[in-house]
Amino acid sequence: MTMRKMIAGLTLIALAFATDAMAQTVGRPGGQRGYATDSFEGFSVVDNDTRIPQKKPSFWWWKRVKKDTAAAQLSYAQDLERNGKLKKAARAYRALVGKWPTSHEALKAQHTLAQVEEKLENYATAFDEYQYLLVHYAGNCPYEEILDRQFRLANHLLHGHKSMFGLKLSLSDEIRERFETIVRNAPRSPRTPEVMLIIGSLREENNDRVEAIAVYDGILNRFPASKEANEAAFLSARCRHALTVKQPENEARCRESIAFITALLERRPNHPCKGELQAWLTEQKALLVEQNYRKAVFYDSKQRSLDAAKNAYRRFLSEFGDSKYGPVVKKRLAELESGNAVPLRN
């Protein structure tokens, strides 16, 4: 065999393998999937022009159908399952769906395939097989039952989040995107606020606090009367406070956080975490005073701009005149306006 023919043969095998993998694997939810029925801030981006690809017959002999009809293949797969040969049964069910996707037996095979993967404790694969069922056999499957199974499977993945040598494996994004899939599958389900809290917490765990805020605020906007709303409000405030402390020079962020917590305390005066919220509010107001005082002093000592310094001091007094810096700023402004002020040292 010539080198050229050998390379061509290997290329064809690689191409067939890749095509088969794409056809047989549902893949993780989120990313570029297009089964969203609603847009949720803080969730992974979806492309509504794409779908989970439909399964096709396998290239590999051990994954091919063993019988001549869908009914016979289904009976063959069920026999394997009854005899405890779950892995072989899963391949047989998957082969049926790929060969006869529009048959009545394919619906049964796909549903059973998801259940078999669940029995095998392949929780991620089982979740995705249930999602395939919802996408390609919508209206012909027990929707609520499947959503419940997906929720349980996602929780298995969440609580079974393994670690290696003390370091967490980077699976949190995949787990979070599966919870996002549940919300997108049923955006108005009574369980949705609970699932969104989990999504927000996973964003926080990954230090994506801006996205976490978007998720928590989504609960407040969509489900303000839910039992999860109080917790979402607190967690959103906590993320805002953490970002403010992390970026103490960001006045816009500080002001937004103050406005949010102030509104929260006004609308939910009996919030169970009221004390902590008030403490954050006090801390952030003090930070805002410091920011504006330093800004005014900057114009006075660094810029050497008399008009800019006077305007900055006036703005400070109009908003923070009763702060601890009020008397100092008032005195300095009077000096500048009199024309007898001594330049501040750098």
DSSP string, 101-151: TTSHHHHHHHHHHHHHHHHTT-HHHHHHHHHHHHHHSTTSS-HHHHHHHHH
The whole-angstrom separation of Cα 66 and Cα 273 is: 62
**Which one has a higher pLDDT value, 6 or 216?**
216
Other beta carbons within 10 angstroms of residue 173's beta carbon come to 16
For 154, 206, 215, 343, the CA distances from 175, given in Å and listed in that order, are: 7, 12, 16, 59
Query: Each residue of 241-267: b (16+ CB within 10 Å) or e?
Result: bbbbeeeeeeeebbeebbebbeebbee
- Please write the tens of the pLDDT for every residue from 46-63: 765 556 888 877 766 667
Nearest to 69 by CA among 99, 90, 94: 99
**Per-residue pLDDT, 346:** 54
Angle between helices 143-159 and 104-119 (to 10 degrees): 30
Query: Beta-strand (E) ranges in the chain?
Result: 163-164, 167-168
**Per-residue pLDDT, 60:** 64
Q: Residue 167, SS3?
A: strand
Which CATH superfamily, name and number, covers 17-141? Tetratricopeptide repeat domain (1.25.40.10)
Nearest to 173 by CA among 206, 213, 198: 206
**Which one has a higher pLDDT value, 100 or 6?**
100
**Per-residue pLDDT, 306:** 82
Distance separating the N- and C-terminal Cα atoms of the chain: 81
DSSP string, 302-321: TS--HHHHHHHHHHHHHHHT
- Yes or no: say if 162 and 112 are a contact pair by the CB < 8 Å rule: no
The whole-angstrom separation of Cα 282 and Cα 249 is: 17
**Per-residue pLDDT, 61:** 61
Domain boundaries, the chain: 17-141
Cα 301 to its chain centre, rounded Å, is 46
- Please write the tens of the pLDDT for every residue from 214-257: 999 999 999 999 999 999 999 999 999 999 999 989 999 999 99
- Yes or no: say if 226 and 220 are a contact pair by the CB < 8 Å rule: no
